[in-house]
Amino acid sequence: MTAPRTYPGPPVDLPLRLDGEPEPDADCDVCQALGEQRSEARTKGDMSRVSDCNVEIRNHPHKGRGRRS
Ligand SMILES: [Zn+2]
């Protein structure tokens, strides 16, 4: 029987939207992939890649979804 251990949760599971980060569009494969890349980059501490992904998500055009105009 192993001793019960309380381990400190890994600090990788940061909540989304720390700095007004864009949320990937749930219906867009590209945005979803970018969202995954972003969290992977964040896990690695690669914040420049994280912000690259943020820019791409924010700038990704979606046509015909009636979000704006
Ligand atoms: Zn998209």
**Whether the predicted model's global pTM rises above the 0.85 cut:** no
Interval between CA 52 and ligand 1 midpoint (Å)? 14
Which DSSP state fits 34?
H
Interval between CA 68 and ligand 1 midpoint (Å)? 14
Cα torsion angle, 17, 21, 25, 28, sign: negative
For 7-33, the pLDDT digits (tens) are 666 555 555 545 678 999 999 999 999
* Ligand 1 (single-atom ion) residues, CB below 5 Å: 25, 28, 30-31, 60
For residue 4, what pLDDT is reported?
74
**CA atoms of 3 and 22, how far apart (whole Å):** 43
